[in-house]
Amino acid sequence: MGRASRARRVATAAAFGGTGLGAIGAAAAGLMYGESKLARRRIAPAETNPPTADGLWTAPGVQSKRDKLVFAMLGDSSAAGYGVHRDAETPAARIAVGLSALSRRPVELVNVAEVGAQSSALLEQAERVLPRKPALAVVMVGANDVTHLVRASDSVRHLSAAIELLRENNIEVVVGTCPDLGTIRPIAQPLRWMVRRLSRTLAAAQTMAVVGAGGRAVSLGDILGPEFATERHYFSEDQFHPSATGYARAADVLLPSAAAALGLVTVARPAGPFTSDKARPIARAAARAASRPGTEVVGTSVDGVATGRHGRWARLTRRRAGDVITPTPEAAVHDQPATMSDTDR
């Protein structure tokens, strides 16, 4: 069964309450469960919280008095930035500074991502950001679902519910789909082979759900490889979460689509051997994107019709953030929210 077919089955199961991929067999399931527990023991537990990057980020040359743009980050430890030590090194901060440079406006970051979160936490996270009225929400989630062997259909159902809530409140949504976990060092064979298959299938199914709910999906694919597999400095100390260098790569992939969602100028180019304006059935588009990091998938129409014989039409493309050179977060001004002790003074 191809990845497009598996993704279609997962998405269908999510909609109708089925199991999605079907059983892998009792013996195989037991082996994978044992291997996943062993892998989690090899990964150092989160002893400290990621740095807090919430607050106002202003790129150099941007007037701080201009109307601010509110941006929310949702998801798991990758969205929270676990593994780095400075707020400017988190992916959310890097995206915020990039959006400030592109929009010429200050950007207020609200990050509700949590270490260890699975897709089941997304709806509650979405509810928490609604009072802040963000214009954009970026989601990074899926790795914990795979390592905890959560059914892909369940993961996708939770993701869809969160996106639908955000879209109902006129919030643009960009989702960095589940990365390919096959390059993670603490994960040994045969689990490594299985999590690669599961993570790519989940990424394709997430893409279908995101597009169906009106968001943009961006493939992270094997952005943590192949060079990440040989260069230890791309990972943090636990060899599972990215380092500052790894997060910078992920942020650079997500920023152009985040900018496009807000109507900011970006440059689109062909995503591989297909043109950026060619419509494809969503399942095929999702399967192609899953293994091609940096590929954006967004809904489109053919002759004014959004759905064809094989389901929703989608377009694949790659983007870059126009001709603007995004400054590093270290060069930006970061005004953190006042703490309780600050307001009591």
Kindly list the catalytic residues.
Answer: 77, 238, 241
Cα dihedral 328, 333, 337, 338 sign: positive
Dist CA 94 CA 246 (whole Å): 12
56 to 21, 97, 101: CA distances (angstroms): 43, 9, 13
Cα dihedral 263, 266, 271, 275 sign: positive
Dist CA 250 CA 35 (whole Å): 27
Cβ(286)–Cβ(207) under 8 Å?
A: yes
Strands (E) across 239-285 are located at: 267-269, 279-281
In the chain, alpha helices (H): 3-16, 26-42, 77-80, 91-103, 122-129, 143-147, 152-168, 191-212, 227-230, 244-261, 282-290, 340-343
Residue that the structure tokens 């509650």 belong to: 124
Number of Cβ within 10 Å of residue 276's Cβ equals 14
List beta partners, residue 317: 296
**DSSP SS3 for 268:** strand
Which helix (H) or strand (E) segment holds residue 137: the answer is: strand 136-140
Phi, psi of 100 (to 5 degrees): -65, -45
Q: Any idea what DSSP says for residue 173?
A: E
